[in-house]
Amino acid sequence: MVRLIGYKKIRTAVFISGRGSNLLNLIKFSKCKKSPISINLVISNKKALGLRYAEKYEINRKIVNFRNNKIAEKKILILLEKNNIDLICLAGFMKILSKKFLRKFNKKIINIHPSYLPKYKGLNTSLRALKNKEKFSGCTVHFVSSKLDSGKIILQKKVKINKNETEHTLDKKIIKEEHKLYPAAIKKILANP
């Protein structure tokens, strides 16, 4: 008799607010045989376009209204518990999670950001980098702390800014790198837990 020795995948939730290209990328990554994660929950603070990927791949999904942050976070904590989530990947999630939330979900929370941190925290990263005539930008995956885009860096990748670069072309180059970086960062943090 052949005995299959399986290993448990880390149950992961992805939080989004937008188009969800990183979500789709992580779903595809999770389907690889050797991937250390499964995606079991998608949370959005609004009717985001990316939710269609959760629907397509039949992943539990929930829109949580953030009119009241405290109530929203309480609801999310219940969902995380119900779905036995051990890792949260923020992927274009436009809400800031409170210190209390980070304390209560005392497992790993990571985020992807479209700049070479610590440069250009916040929004419009490519535009600001271009205006400042930077030679490169990039992307970063980091642990989430209570300060915006400031937690410990897991992995980052530089992206060269060319002479005739526009915000659009730079964004395109960065998102392509993000799709390689996020799975690599997940593998890195789960290799030696």
> Which residues are marked as active site?
113
Q: Which one of 14, 41, 97, 112 is in contact with ligand GRF (CB under 6 A)?
A: 112
Site for ligand GRF in 146-185 (CB under 6 A): 175, 178
Q: Which stretch binds ligand GRF (CB under 6 A): 35-43, 52-60, 71-79, 110-118?
A: 110-118
**91 near ligand GRF, judged by CB under 6 A:** yes
Structure token digits, residue 29: 């990554």
Which range binds ligand GRF by CB under 6 A, 33-41, 67-75, 106-114, 152-160?
Answer: 106-114
Q: Which of 43, 66, 92, 109 binds ligand GRF (CB under 6 A)?
A: 92
Name the amino acid, one letter, at 31. K
Both tokens assigned to 183: 């799975």
